[in-house]
Structure 1
Amino acid sequence: MATVWFYRCLRFMALSVLCFVFVFSVKPRALFGTSTPTLTRVAMETYKAVRPAFVEERPTTIPEFVHSTSLAGQELEEQVVVLDQLLLLMTNITMPCRKLVRQGGKRCRGKLDGDKKLCLDPFVRPPSNNCLVYSFGIGYMTSAICRRMPISVFPLTMTVADSFTCRLAASRSVSVERVIIPKTKQEYIYLYRPLDNIMYLLDQHRANLDVLKVDVDGPEWEIFEDSIFRTDILERTRQLSIEVHLSAFLDPHLNTSLPLTQTLQKYTRVFKGLEERGLRLAHHEPNLFYPKFAKFANRTFNVYYELLWINTHLKKKNVSEYTEINEKIFNEIEFN
């Protein structure tokens, strides 16, 4: 009997301790129908107003390029107008997407780099079968959005040699670049081809592109303006994922007069060219893995931006038109 009584007392004491801890650990709640005290409400509003905004994966120190300009008057005002127009074209959503998904990317130093966004809204999403994706440049974009992907371009290994790879040309001609790494003495040979020329060689010049990804660290402006814009490929592209680099603002000795004006105009022409071909901006975000900010004329902006464009007027041409046009282009590029 003494043993039973002892265990009952021990259980009672344990339950008492648990109840004590529970009562003092639970925060008191206001009764139904009672309002929050004025002092508490003011304190909460003050806290919300002064607490720092949370930015995902943003480092504590951010490189910033501050450009002081000696321009004034009409010339500076014209540059500011073009810069504001450029920033608006990069950030003004004209085709909202309700279902954005993150594709690809690679974890490095605890952060995700090289990932891209795609839109899965009806009528604009890539098909679940026979999905065609061309991926150029840096990044780790996967084909999870497509069950079957006939080809993902770049690096496109050619049959000439293992170190012979194909890159996207920023002109209408085929060229070869030979690069030797000084440290390792290793040699790389890069073959540059226009996008329509690559598609012709792969016998895909009749196909629509479901996704075109371009992340080439700078030459994207010339690639579009001097090459892709001279074809109808973008009119046949469902979604365009690009990272743009406002590289001019990374030069600490930036010439803020005529060269900057011409560069800003080139950046703006490319965005307007995308809109003229039926593409609308669906998503934008700064690159927070390598954040770089520039300050010019009291405007502070990110130099690297990830953009997703959606084609609102996707078209497909007749087979005879494809064959005739692309054979002519191919002959001009290869043999002239």
Structure 2
Amino acid sequence: MHERFAGLRTNMKHYYSILAAFTVFAVLLYIATRTTQLQAMVLDLQVRSGLKSNAQESEYERQNVVATKKPSVGSPVVKDDGKAAHPIPMDDKLQVMTNKQLATLYNDFLTNIQVLCRDKIRMGNIQAGGWDVCLDGHYKPKKDNCIVYSFGIDNDFSFDDDVASTFGCEVHAFDPSMKQQDHLRGRRVHFHHLGLSDRDGKGKMQWPMKTMLSIRQDLKHADGVIDYMKIDIETSEWGSLRHAFKTNGLKGVKQLSLEFHVFGKEERSKYISRLNVLRDLYNLGYRIFWTHNNVVYPACRFTSVYDGRERTRCHEVYFLKWVV
């Protein structure tokens, strides 16, 4: 009996030794795997922050099979075009699309991000009246050396005042609907009793209107840089943009923020016309870095007769001049 128990103890010790060896092997394998993952994570963080050398970057890419390099946001000329998830075809292709396809493409294009801004700030009111500004790289307005155009004020200067006080920008605010004449608001905000349009002269409401090119020429900014341009002018943005495309009115505009509107009856002709404008804007090199559906105002909300989805007529969309 004693010899039987002794043999059993010997076998148990043998099994324990095997189990211990297997456990040590498993632990070492886990540590090795985690170390490789952590190294990749650290290298990835270095890639994103620009802290590693070109040699390290090449090694990182070889080990991780990086097919596409992200653009350097700090560079004024970016080769990566930030391709849209929902590209807009040429007009001949749009003409043969169904109503549902047109409505879906319009909304999908305006509600998806195309490029990344890692650092953005809300300027002005947190809700209506405020707008976001990208601070990445060369897109950040230079302190006391920046120009901002703000079309459509509606008696809310919160964005204009905030940009002027935070960055020291020279701000030009435009709105013909307000009962105010041209004046200097503080030291930096210049108010103009003038609206943006696709032609110079009186508008439908007998308000004074000018094109983007004419306004920039009047202010001696036609060939300079506009750090930020905001446009919220209740459907007049479409005609104004078309004229700007023809006359190079957006030349040098680094950030462009618009509220796009589609008021009135839902019609395929409107979708086709507006999709052409959005495609032209894309072809100029502007890429969406932030987008927001405005549903605060009841007039903006509707149910599409084309796809039955609840939609908005008001999209706040933020662009960077991504491709030069």
TM-score of the aligned structures, taking structure 2 as reference length? 0.59
Tell me which residue corresponds to 2:302.
Answer: 294
Question: 1:234 touches 1:277 (CA, 8 Å); kept in 2?
Answer: no
Query: Are 1:269 and 2:273 matched, yes or no?
Result: no
Query: Are 1:283 and 2:293 matched, yes or no?
Result: no
Tell me which residue corresponds to 1:130.
Answer: 145
Residue 302 of structure 1 aligns with an amino acid whose one-letter code is: T
Residue 242 of structure 1 aligns with an amino acid whose one-letter code is: L
Provide the aligned C-alpha RMSD in A.
Answer: 2.6
Question: 1:136 touches 1:167 (CA, 8 Å); kept in 2?
Answer: yes
For 1:17-96, what aligned pairs fall within 5 Å after superposition?
Answer: 78-96=98-116
Tell me which residue corresponds to 2:260.
Answer: 244
Question: 1:235 touches 1:277 (CA, 8 Å); kept in 2?
Answer: no
Please point out which of 179, 200, 225 is paired with 2:217: 200
Q: What is the identity percentage for the equivalent residue pairs of Structure 1 and Structure 2? A: 22
Tell me, in whole angstroms, the C-alpha distance in 2 between the residues paired with 1:194 and 1:300: 34
Please point out which of 149, 154, 162 is paired with 2:174: 154
Question: 1:126 touches 1:238 (CA, 8 Å); kept in 2?
Answer: no
Question: 2:295 touches 2:312 (CA, 8 Å); kept in 1?
Answer: no
Query: Are 1:105 and 2:125 matched, yes or no?
Result: yes
Please point out which of 139, 148, 166 is paired with 2:194: 166
Please point out which of 123, 127, 144 is paired with 2:162: 144
Question: 1:220 touches 1:244 (CA, 8 Å); kept in 2?
Answer: yes
Distance verdict in 2 for CA 1:280–1:143, change over 3 Å: farther
Tell me, in whole angstroms, the C-alpha distance in 2 between the residues paired with 1:247 and 1:178: 17
Shift of 1:244: 1.0
Counting matched residue pairs gives 211
Tell me which residue corresponds to 2:27.
Answer: none
Shift of 1:132: 0.4
Shift of 1:238: 0.5
SS at match of 2:169: coil
Distance verdict in 2 for CA 1:165–1:209, change over 3 Å: same
Q: Which has the higher helix share?
A: 2
Question: 1:103 touches 1:116 (CA, 8 Å); kept in 2?
Answer: yes
Residue 176 of structure 1 aligns with an amino acid whose one-letter code is: K
Shift of 1:150: 2.5
Q: Which has the higher strand share?
A: 1
Residue 174 of structure 1 aligns with an amino acid whose one-letter code is: D
Residue 90 of structure 1 aligns with an amino acid whose one-letter code is: L
Shift of 1:76: 10
Shift of 1:144: 3.3
Shift of 1:305: 1.4
SS at match of 1:268: helix
Tell me, in whole angstroms, the C-alpha distance in 1 between the residues paired with 2:215 and 2:137: 30
SS at match of 1:89: helix
Tell me, in whole angstroms, the C-alpha distance in 1 between the residues paired with 2:287 and 2:151: 21
Tell me, in whole angstroms, the C-alpha distance in 2 between the residues paired with 1:178 and 1:241: 25
Shift of 1:151: 3.4
Question: 2:123 touches 2:130 (CA, 8 Å); kept in 1?
Answer: yes
SS at match of 1:144: helix
Q: Structure 2 unaligned runs (5+)? A: 1-94, 184-191
Distance verdict in 2 for CA 1:270–1:300, change over 3 Å: same
TM-score of the aligned structures, taking structure 1 as reference length? 0.57
SS at match of 1:102: strand
Residue 247 of structure 1 aligns with an amino acid whose one-letter code is: F
Tell me which residue corresponds to 2:130.
Answer: 115
Shift of 1:176: 1.8
Tell me, in whole angstroms, the C-alpha distance in 1 between the residues paired with 2:144 and 2:249: 21
Comparing 146-155 with 115-124, which one deviates more in the overlay? 146-155
Tell me, in whole angstroms, the C-alpha distance in 2 between the residues paired with 1:264 and 1:113: 25
Tell me which residue corresponds to 1:305.
Answer: 315
Tell me, in whole angstroms, the C-alpha distance in 2 between the residues paired with 1:238 and 1:199: 15
Distance verdict in 2 for CA 1:177–1:84, change over 3 Å: closer
State the structure with bigger RCO (CA 8 A, min sep 6), 1 or 2. 1
Question: 1:158 touches 1:165 (CA, 8 Å); kept in 2?
Answer: yes
Question: 1:235 touches 1:278 (CA, 8 Å); kept in 2?
Answer: no
Residue 207 of structure 1 aligns with an amino acid whose one-letter code is: G
SS at match of 2:209: strand
CA deviations over 1:2-59 (Å, ceiling 9, x no partner) = xxxxxxxxxxxxxxxxxxxxxxxxxxxxxxxxxxxxxxxxxxxxxxxxxxxxxxxxxx
